[in-house]
Structure 1
Amino acid sequence: MFLPSSRLNAFRVASRAFSTSSARSADMAKLLLIGRLGKDPEVRVTKNSGKEYVSYTVATTNHPPPPPNADGTPAEPKTSWHTILSFNPSSNNYLRNLKKGYHVFVEANYELREPDPDASPETPQGQRQIFLRHENIRVIGRPKAVQNDEEGH
């Protein structure tokens, strides 16, 4: 395959820049969720520093649905519950106004935390945990009851 020299040089620069970038600046884990708020966001305070944060839960359902059961009946889709934490004061002000049932698009940083070797396996500290830190949220839709209240019906 023949590439013009300008395109070939651009390709070399792009591939070289990627391969020589530091791991710290290039690596990331992000989770994108589209689902519904499972309950109103809650304002909480950290145990150590007393810093305020907001915790909210988003429910997602597998799509497409799982394959049919062995007897041919449709399998029930499974719902997953994701807890996201926001430590950004400006985001927290916005999150406080959201309500259960809102359909949302969420971007969150994803961190997998290994269990504490000294903790009991029955406790959350003794199990592997997924930590989701809020980055962005967009409301896609509101529940019908909320829409009717806002329209004065």
Structure 2
Amino acid sequence: MMARGVNKVILLGRLGQDPTVRYTAGGAAVTSFSIATSEGWRDKNSGEMQERTDWHNIVIFSRLAEVAGQYLKKGSQVYIEGRLQTRKWTDKNEMDRY
């Protein structure tokens, strides 16, 4: 049997804004927010420290979404484990976007 692969992501970062909580028609909570992760390194040529920050959009569901909406605020540090899901859509110029 061939391995199907692994899709697991671990992030440790801080919220860029307060989470947004909404509810599905069935009453399930859906909470979304973005977190910033940063990494630093020393430039080989100049010796100066460099830093890059990446932003990650997070969506969580059900009871965990309710708890996150209640306790998380802008600046909160969070540890996130989940899977990466890229969404594709077609823009008004018929170009694929991700």
1:76 Cα deviation after fit: 3.2
CA distance in 2, matches of 1:120, 1:55: 23
CA distance in 2, matches of 1:32, 1:45: 26
1:69–1:75: 8 Å Cα contact kept in structure 2? no
Aligned with 1:90: secondary structure?
helix
2:30 aligned residue: 53
Which of the two has greater helix per residue? 1
Aligned with 1:91: secondary structure?
helix
CA distance in 2, matches of 1:121, 1:75: 42
1:41 Cα deviation after fit: 0.9
1:94 equivalent in alignment to 2:67: yes
1:100 Cα deviation after fit: 1.0
Question: Cα RMSD between the aligned structures?
Answer: 3.0
Indicate how the Cα distance of structure 1 residues 121 and 39 shifts in structure 2: closer, same or farther if over 3 A, else same.
same
Indicate how the Cα distance of structure 1 residues 75 and 69 shifts in structure 2: closer, same or farther if over 3 A, else same.
farther
1:17-50 Cα deviation digits (max 9, x unpaired): xxx4773xxx33011001111111111356xx67
1:61 Cα deviation after fit: 0.2
Q: Sequence identity, in percent?
A: 28
CA distance in 1, matches of 2:15, 2:44: 29
Kindly provide the amino acid, as one letter, of the partner of residue 79 in structure 1.
T
1:126 aligned residue: 96
Indicate how the Cα distance of structure 1 residues 106 and 75 shifts in structure 2: closer, same or farther if over 3 A, else same.
same
CA distance in 2, matches of 1:29, 1:90: 23
Q: Which runs of 5 or more structure 2 residues have no equivalent in the other structure? A: none
1:33–1:60: 8 Å Cα contact kept in structure 2? yes
Q: Which runs of 5 or more structure 1 residues have no equivalent in the other structure? A: 1-19, 129-153
Listed as ranges, the matches of 1:59-98 within 5 Å are 59-62=36-39, 65-68=40-43, 70=45, 72=46, 74-87=48-61, 89-96=62-69, 97-98=71-72
Which of the two has greater strand per residue? 2
| 1:105 pairs with one of 67, 79, 84 | 79
Q: How does the TM-score come out when normalised to structure 1?
A: 0.51
Indicate how the Cα distance of structure 1 residues 122 and 59 shifts in structure 2: closer, same or farther if over 3 A, else same.
farther
Instruction: Report how many residues are paired.
Output: 96
